[in-house]
């Protein structure tokens, strides 16, 4: 990079106590990203605790937007804030988005990401891939030297035992199925090259999607550290 989570709740007035450093960084990054959105845009809304700060910041701007959501929870909050959220299913959905904004669990210096702690990574990747510009928002604790396990997975229920055997080093999560009916799990094996692991996971029959996002998909990372916010371009 150059230039230097699964539930969503409304962040405004979220805490009776003092705002923690990490929560402040999430809010600052989200508020900075909200300023990147322009009137009339088609916007992809992510999922997680950082996006919870994005939604009210974006709604407060009063722009005329067409939005799609990566999770039912995000859609519910966005609509409650007065934002227009459309379905992203079927042939009638928008085929292209101007911008998508989402958080991440890990952000490497190369721009590679791990996402899916909130089990929404399949929909998150579909939305990010459709956007002309994918912007990641993060607090400083999400920046890592290298990506490490766990890597979130969504698996097909059919043939699940065989899929687990082929993958190895996988732990099923005790969480509800994804909105599309997939089984949520985590790959726990060590790896050095995220591109190599991403290719292996993608080629494994029974894997619906994994939580490794390539740098080529990411346009910018908005990261807050303390009171400072920086927008970093990802070099492709």
Q: Looking at the annotation, which residues are catalytic?
A: 124
- DSSP string spanning 172-212? E-SSPPPTTSPEEEEE----S-HHHHHHHHHHSTTEEEESE
C-alpha span between 225 and 68 (Å, rounded): 29
Bridge partner residues of 67 (DSSP): 43, 85
* The two three-digit tokens of residue 110, written as one number: 């190369």
39 SS3 class:
coil
Longest dimension (CA), the chain: 50
Alpha helices in the chain, H assignment, sequence order = 21-34, 51-59, 72-80, 121-130, 160-167, 194-203
C-alpha span between 25 and 13 (Å, rounded): 16
Helix (H) and strand (E) counts in the chain: 6, 13
Q: Return the closest-CA partner of residue 147 out of 107, 184, 115, 186.
A: 107
């Amino acid at each position: 990079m150059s230039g230097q989570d699964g539930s969503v709740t409304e962040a405004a007035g979220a805490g009776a106590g003092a705002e923690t450093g990490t929560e402040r960084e999430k809010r600052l990054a989200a508020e900075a990203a909200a300023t990147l959105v322009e009137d009339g845009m088609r916007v992809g809304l992510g999922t997680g605790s950082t996006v919870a700060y994005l939604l009210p910041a974006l709604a407060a701007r009063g722009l005329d937007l067409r939005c799609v959501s990566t999770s039912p929870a995000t859609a519910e909050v966005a609509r409650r804030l007065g934002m227009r959220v459309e379905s992203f299913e079927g042939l009638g959905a928008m085929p292209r988005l101007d911008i998508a904004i989402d958080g991440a669990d890990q952000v490497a210096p190369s721009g590679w990401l791990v996402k899916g702690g909130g089990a929404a990574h399949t929909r998150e990747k579909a939305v990010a891939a459709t956007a002309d510009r994918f912007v990641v928002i993060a607090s400083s604790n999400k920046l890592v030297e290298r990506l490490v396990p766990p890597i979130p997975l969504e698996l097909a229920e059919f043939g699940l035992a065989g899929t687990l055997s082929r993958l190895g080093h996988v732990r099923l999560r005790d969480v509800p199925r994804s909105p599309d009916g997939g089984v949520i799990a985590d790959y726990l094996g060590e790896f050095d090259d995220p591109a190599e692991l991403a290719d292996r996971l993608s080629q494994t029959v029974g894997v619906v999607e994994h939580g490794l996002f390539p740098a080529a998909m990411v346009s910018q990372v908005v990261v807050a550290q303390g009171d400072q916010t920086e927008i970093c371009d990802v070099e492709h």
